[in-house]
Structure 1
Amino acid sequence: MKGLFIDASPALAATLDAQPRPAGIEVDLNLAAQVEPETLPGLLAGYDFALNDHSFMPTEVMRHCQGLRHVIFLGTGARSYMNPEALAELGITVHIIKGYGDRAVAEHAFALMFAAARGLAAMDRAMRAGTWRRTEGPELAGKTVGLMGYGGIGREMAMLCRAIGMRVLVWSRTPRPEPGITFVELDTLLEQSQFLSLHLLLDDSTRGILSAERLARLPEGAILVNTARGDLVDEAAMIEALKSGRLGHAALDVFALEPLPAGHPLTGLDNVTLSAHSAFRTPEASANLMRQALEIAGRLG
């Protein structure tokens, strides 16, 4: 079986090279920040499978990728870049990788929550501009954090929040009662969460789940953290809530459109902390990711 890593960054390429290959598996590297969709048929000619980090794979383009039978998406968010069901009809199976970076993403969400609460990004921007700005923000101990979703990342986030004395509420479509965690209905979660952190997969049932109406249920001045998927949130409604101050702060690693365009409204708001879809980018998580990708490839033959 022969595969191509279509959009390998130097760091991920090096991590992949450090992993042992399963017997009979070859993986070539295409070092590229992003692959233009129209180039995919030529790029993937002669390959059985593709590793995809973050490149779009439109169905109509993939129809012309003769011989390709598998796409191993490096993460869980394949639906943001392709239609797995439509590709399956073309004979191309999409594989996703879960759990490789649960701790990494939770730690990033935790860091964003702290940064938002204490205004670290605003102070940093001001000081770089020559202004001595001092912000005030709440201590997190004793505050209520609501988690939307309770998979591997949500569980890690709950553990971190409990460790500093936060009250943890969870809404999940599949509740699994655990000591120290209180599962509640979604409306209750929204109404009581001083901090809200999103940990849901994106699918048809969760797209836009944090609508304008649900954002309005949050306590005034609440802080929103999103390290899951941008399309879980009604972005326009979130921006309006931030402008009015009804939503106190948004700490975001993911966006409806990525990369975030220059001049995007979020970049002009003082009560926003931004990171570039990097919550899962740790050496430890990358090694887990590449190892699991190769394990999937090894099972394809």
Structure 2
Amino acid sequence: MNLVIIGRFPADTDTQIRAFFPADWEVSITESNLAGPYLQNADALIPEHIPIGPSFLDKAPKLRMIQTGAGYDNVDLAECTRRSILVCSAAGVNTAAVAEHTMALILGWFKNIVYLDSFLKAHRDSRELRYSGGELCGKTAGIIGLGAIGQRVSSLCQAFGMNVLGYARHPKSVQGVETVSLDELLARSDVVSIHVPATPETRHMIGRQAFQKMKPSAVLVNTARGAVVHEEDLIEALGDHQIAGACLDVYEEEPLPQASRLRELPNVILTPHTAGYPDGVKLHEKRYSFFSSNIRQAWSGEMPANLLNRDAWKAWR
């Protein structure tokens, strides 16, 4: 088995990742711009947020399986199916991690953790404090997307005494969640948290019109995919104080460009797409355990979990 993992990892994380896979596998961990030589003999691939289309697949003539994380919007499913390459996601594996990160951002915002930490570390006098905070209890959280992560976030919000509104393109009943239209959710929520995948239908679903419908005191939280939010419209809304702030883990371009105006705005909390990695830099033990077992399952002749293109499985066998 030749497994290629594409991404940037610290040396210690690199070693930890290799330990999840059988010792007799040839595991190559490389950055995208250096992947070419490794792809020639790759049987399976784990890509980290890089586009996988025809030109990429031409470099990997032996490739039989691609194992993604929770999202797979970077993979051309139709092209992979045409080439009989299995594509599997890790949906559900990072549910707890992303939901907890979402709550950490919400708490960090309302409890002003970043500001208060930097204030004290700057050796300032507490009598100079100028900030507005608030309790979550009694506030309204609007959850866009009621899949596994959205439902987990809704239950955590309820545990803090929040009222929870939910919007899903395919309406579903979730305990403790009032299902409403997207417009109503935007108008009533103190926190708007996004939990939908990046698809042609969801691209830029949150933009200028959405921000105009939100409360001026509301905060936007996005731990899903950057493409769901029109970033330039968000920057405009933050700069003009149409909304109070934003907490972001994902961006339209990743890594977040050094010149991005988001880095300069005082009413934003930023994290570098790490919501799904609770165990260390670029590491999530449940995730890599799943990757390893799912690839082995396919090679043993059993249909792997979270297979996205079943037509490829018919040809693959």
TM over 0.5: yes
1:26 is matched with: 25
Measured in 1, the distance between the counterparts of 2:144 and 2:12 equals 32
1:260 is matched with: 256
1:54 is matched with: 49
Query: Partner of 1:236: helix, strand, or coil?
Result: helix
Give the residue type in structure 1 aligned to 2:48: D
Task: Note if contact 1:118-1:137 (Cα within 8 Å) is conserved in structure 2.
Answer: yes
Q: What's the offset of the Cα at 1:4?
A: 2.2
Residue by residue over 1:191-214, the C-alpha shift from the partner in whole angstroms, topping out at 9 and shown as x without a partner, is 111110001111111111112111
Query: Partner of 2:93: helix, strand, or coil?
Result: coil
Say whether residues 1:65 and 2:65 are aligned partners.
no
Measured in 2, the distance between the counterparts of 1:265 and 1:215 equals 18
State the percentage of identical aligned residues.
Answer: 28
Measured in 2, the distance between the counterparts of 1:126 and 1:237 equals 30
C-alpha distance 29-8 of structure 1, shift in aligned 2 (>3 A): farther
Task: Note if contact 1:3-1:50 (Cα within 8 Å) is conserved in structure 2.
Answer: yes
Give the residue type in structure 1 aligned to 2:27: D
Residue by residue over 1:154-174, the C-alpha shift from the partner in whole angstroms, topping out at 9 and shown as x without a partner, is 111111110110001100123
1:109 is matched with: 102
Select 2:238's aligned residue among 218, 242, 249.
242
1:296 is matched with: 294
Give the residue type in structure 2 aligned to 1:86: E
Q: Write out aligned runs for 1:63-102 (5 A).
A: 63-73=58-68, 75-79=69-73, 81-102=74-95
Tell which deviates more after alignment, 93-102 or 7-16.
7-16
Measured in 2, the distance between the counterparts of 1:55 and 1:276 equals 16
C-alpha distance 130-263 of structure 1, shift in aligned 2 (>3 A): farther
Query: Partner of 2:32: helix, strand, or coil?
Result: coil
Query: Partner of 1:291: helix, strand, or coil?
Result: helix
Task: Note if contact 1:15-1:286 (Cα within 8 Å) is conserved in structure 2.
Answer: no
Task: Note if contact 1:5-1:27 (Cα within 8 Å) is conserved in structure 2.
Answer: no
Give the residue type in structure 1 aligned to 2:213: R
Say whether residues 1:120 and 2:116 are aligned partners.
no
Q: What's the offset of the Cα at 1:234?
A: 0.9
C-alpha distance 77-20 of structure 1, shift in aligned 2 (>3 A): closer
Task: Note if contact 1:41-1:61 (Cα within 8 Å) is conserved in structure 2.
Answer: no
Q: Which runs of 5+ in 1 are unaligned?
A: none
**TM-score scaled to structure 1, two decimals?**
0.89
Task: Note if contact 1:72-1:95 (Cα within 8 Å) is conserved in structure 2.
Answer: yes
Q: What's the offset of the Cα at 1:99?
A: 0.9
**TM-score scaled to structure 2, two decimals?**
0.85
Say whether residues 1:276 and 2:269 are aligned partners.
no
Measured in 1, the distance between the counterparts of 2:278 and 2:183 equals 34
Measured in 2, the distance between the counterparts of 1:216 and 1:255 equals 21
Residue by residue over 1:98-119, the C-alpha shift from the partner in whole angstroms, topping out at 9 and shown as x without a partner, is 1111111111110101112233
1:287 is matched with: 285
Measured in 2, the distance between the counterparts of 1:217 and 1:291 equals 43
Task: Note if contact 1:41-1:62 (Cα within 8 Å) is conserved in structure 2.
Answer: no
Measured in 2, the distance between the counterparts of 1:135 and 1:111 equals 19
Q: Which runs of 5+ in 2 are unaligned?
A: 300-317
C-alpha distance 227-167 of structure 1, shift in aligned 2 (>3 A): same
**Between Structure 1 and Structure 2, how many residues are aligned?**
293
Considering only aligned residues, what root-mean-square deviation do their CA atoms show, in Å?
A: 2.3
Measured in 1, the distance between the counterparts of 2:18 and 2:62 equals 25
Select 1:170's aligned residue among 156, 162, 166.
166
2:149 is matched with: 153
Give the residue type in structure 2 aligned to 1:63: D
Say whether residues 1:140 and 2:136 are aligned partners.
yes
Measured in 2, the distance between the counterparts of 1:124 and 1:143 equals 24
Give the residue type in structure 2 aligned to 1:282: P
C-alpha distance 55-27 of structure 1, shift in aligned 2 (>3 A): farther
Q: Write out aligned runs for 1:202-221 (5 A).
A: 202-221=198-217
Task: Note if contact 2:193-2:222 (Cα within 8 Å) is conserved in structure 1.
Answer: yes
Task: Note if contact 2:142-2:186 (Cα within 8 Å) is conserved in structure 1.
Answer: yes
Q: What's the offset of the Cα at 1:126?
A: 4.5
